[in-house]
Structure 1
Amino acid sequence: MRHGKRLLQVFMLALLTLAFAVQAQAANPDYFYKNLVDINYVKPLVKVPNPEGVKLIDSRPYQGKYIQGYIPTAISLPDSEFEKKAAELLPKDKNVTLVFYCEGPECKLSHNSARKAEKLGYKNVKVYPGGYPEWVKAGNYPAIGVENVKEMLTKGETFLLVDSRPLVKFLEGSIPSAVSIPDSGFEKKTGLLPVDKSTQLVFFCGGYECPLSHSSARKAMALGYSNVKVCEAGEPAWAKLYGASGGGLKVQTGGVEGAISVEQFKKILAEKPDSIQLIDVRDADEFAAGHSPSAVNIPVNELEKKLPGMKFDKPVVFVCATGSRSGEAYYMTRDLRKDVKDVFYLEATTKWSKDGTCTITDNKKK
Structure 2
Amino acid sequence: MTDLAISQTDVYQATLAEPDQKTPQVSTEDVRRILADGSAIVLDSRKRAEYAAGHIAGARNVAPAPGAPPSEYVAAVERLVQGDKSQSLVIYCNGQYCKAGRQLSAHLAEAGFTSVRRYQLGIPVWRALGGPVEIELEGIVRIFGVDQTVVYFDARSAEEFAQGTLPGAHNVPADAVATGGFEKVPMPRNDFNTRIVIFGRDKAQGRKLADAIGKTPFQNVSYFPGVFEQLSVVIKPKPV
Shared fold (TM-score, shorter chain, > 0.5)? yes
| Bigger Rg, structure 1 or 2 | 1
In 2, Cα distance between equivalents of 1:43 and 1:247: 37
| Secondary structure of the structure 1 residue equivalent to 2:117 | strand
User: How many residues matched?
Assistant: 213
| Secondary structure of the structure 2 residue equivalent to 1:112 | helix
- Residue 160 of structure 1 corresponds to 151
Q: Is the counterpart of residue 201 in structure 1 residue 211 in structure 2?
A: no
Assess, with a 3 A threshold, how the Cα gap between structure 1 residues 195 and 166 changes in structure 2: closer, same or farther: closer
Q: Give the aligned residue type for 1:136.
A: R
Q: Tell me the CA shift for residue 102 of structure 1.
A: 1.4
- 1:117–1:125: 8 Å Cα contact kept in structure 2? yes
In 2, Cα distance between equivalents of 1:160 and 1:141: 17
Q: Is the counterpart of residue 226 in structure 1 residue 215 in structure 2?
A: no
Assess, with a 3 A threshold, how the Cα gap between structure 1 residues 132 and 195 changes in structure 2: closer, same or farther: closer
**Cα-to-partner distance string for 1:288-319 (whole Å, 9 max, x where unaligned):** xxxxxxxxxxxxxxxxxxxxxxxxxxxxxxxx
- Residue 75 of structure 1 corresponds to 60
Q: Is the counterpart of residue 109 in structure 1 residue 104 in structure 2?
A: no
Q: Tell me the CA shift for residue 101 of structure 1.
A: 0.9
- 1:57–1:100: 8 Å Cα contact kept in structure 2? yes
Q: Tell me the CA shift for residue 162 of structure 1.
A: 1.4
What are the equivalent positions in structure 2 for 1:217-256 lying under 5 Å apart?
217-222=210-215, 224-234=216-226, 235=228, 237-239=230-232, 242=234, 245-248=236-239
- Residue 43 of structure 1 corresponds to 32
- 1:99–1:126: 8 Å Cα contact kept in structure 2? yes
Highest RCO, 1 vs 2 (Cα 8 Å, sep ≥ 6): 2
In 2, Cα distance between equivalents of 1:194 and 1:206: 22
Q: Tell me the CA shift for residue 58 of structure 1.
A: 0.7
Q: Tell me the CA shift for residue 71 of structure 1.
A: 2.3
What are the equivalent positions in structure 2 for 1:293-312 lying under 5 Å apart?
none
- Residue 61 of structure 1 corresponds to 47
In 2, Cα distance between equivalents of 1:173 and 1:124: 48
- Residue 177 of structure 1 corresponds to 168
Calculate the aligned-residue CA RMSD, in Å.
3.5
Q: Is the counterpart of residue 191 in structure 1 residue 191 in structure 2?
A: no
Q: Give the aligned residue type for 1:163.
A: D
- 2:154–2:171: 8 Å Cα contact kept in structure 1? yes
Provide the identity percentage. Answer: 22
- Residue 28 of structure 1 corresponds to 18
- Residue 52 of structure 1 corresponds to 38
State which drifts further: 139-148 or 177-186.
139-148
| Greater percentage in helix | 1
Q: Give the aligned residue type for 2:197.
A: V
State which drifts further: 175-184 or 118-127.
118-127
- 2:54–2:222: 8 Å Cα contact kept in structure 1? no
> Which runs of 5 or more residues in structure 2 are unaligned?
1-16
